[in-house]
Structure formats: C-alpha cells, structure tokens
Amino acid sequence: MNFQTIFIVYIICELFELFYVQRGDTINAYVLNLLRLYERGTVYFLCMHPSFYALIFTAVYFNNFSFLIAGLLILKVFDIILKLMMLDRLVKSKPLGIFALMLERDMPLNFSLKAALSLFYTVIFYINFTA
C-alpha cells in the first residue's frame, strides 16, 4: 500500500468527521449531535473518529513516530477525551464546570473554522510523511 492511497483514506475520514460528527451551526447544536452519537454507546462514539485510527495505522505502517505524528495523536486524544468528559457530565447531570460557560452562550460555529481544523490536521499529516 502506498502513501497516496492512505492519504486519500485519511482525507475521507476527516471529511466524514467534518460533515457527520461535527454537524451543527451553533455550539449547542454541535453538542446535541455529539450527545446523540454518545447515547448510542461509547464504543460507537469512538468509532465515529476514524481519522484517529487512520493516523495510528499510518504511523505504525510506515514506522514513523515523529514529533508531528505524536503531536497530532495527542491533539486527537485530548479532543476525544474532552468530548467524552463533557458528554458524560451532560448525561449524568453533573456540574459542567468550564463547559457550562461555553454552552450558555450558544455561540455560532462557523463551518470554515471546523474545516480549517480538519485542513490543519491533513496538512500536518501530509507534511510529516512526505518530508
């Protein structure tokens, strides 16, 4: 398997997350979409992040554990953990702490902001494996 094929799969995974997992025009709509996925089960929720697994597969397949890949893995792990912590607190009706401020304001989420983050991950992924 060559890098181009894996890179295309990674882009498809990022697009899947962008259009399916990160749906919502506001923060509350985004969190409600995440909550809908989380209520189906934690394993299902974790499976909805295929770019994380594609990143791990690529790092192992090419035996490349550079600083950039480690950084991307850490960012993705923290992203998933923070989402799980927030959703668990919502489901169990626990105090939300810092998440409460975010949900109170119900700020609009710009599609270009979410797309920029996916593009950032993809560019860093590409730079790491082609440099």
DSSP string, 40-88: T-HHHHHHT-HHHHHHHHHHHHTT---HHHHHHHHHHHHHHHHHHHHHH
Rg of the Cα atoms in the chain = 16
CA pair distance 24, 37, nearest whole angstrom: 13
Question: How far is the first Cα of the chain from the last one, in angstroms, to the nearest whole number?
Answer: 18
For residue 35, is pLDDT > 90? Answer: yes
pTM of the predicted model, to two decimals?
Answer: 0.89
pLDDT at 95: 84
Per-residue confidence at 127, pLDDT binned at 50, 70, 90? very high
Per-residue confidence at 27, pLDDT binned at 50, 70, 90? confident
Give pLDDT tens digits for 63-115: 988 999 999 999 999 999 999 999 998 899 888 887 788 788 878 888 898 89
Give pLDDT tens digits for 41-58: 999 999 999 999 999 999
Question: Can you tell me whether residue 102 is helix, strand or coil?
Answer: helix
pLDDT at 110: 87
CA pair distance 4, 29, nearest whole angstrom: 35
For residue 8, is pLDDT > 80? Answer: yes
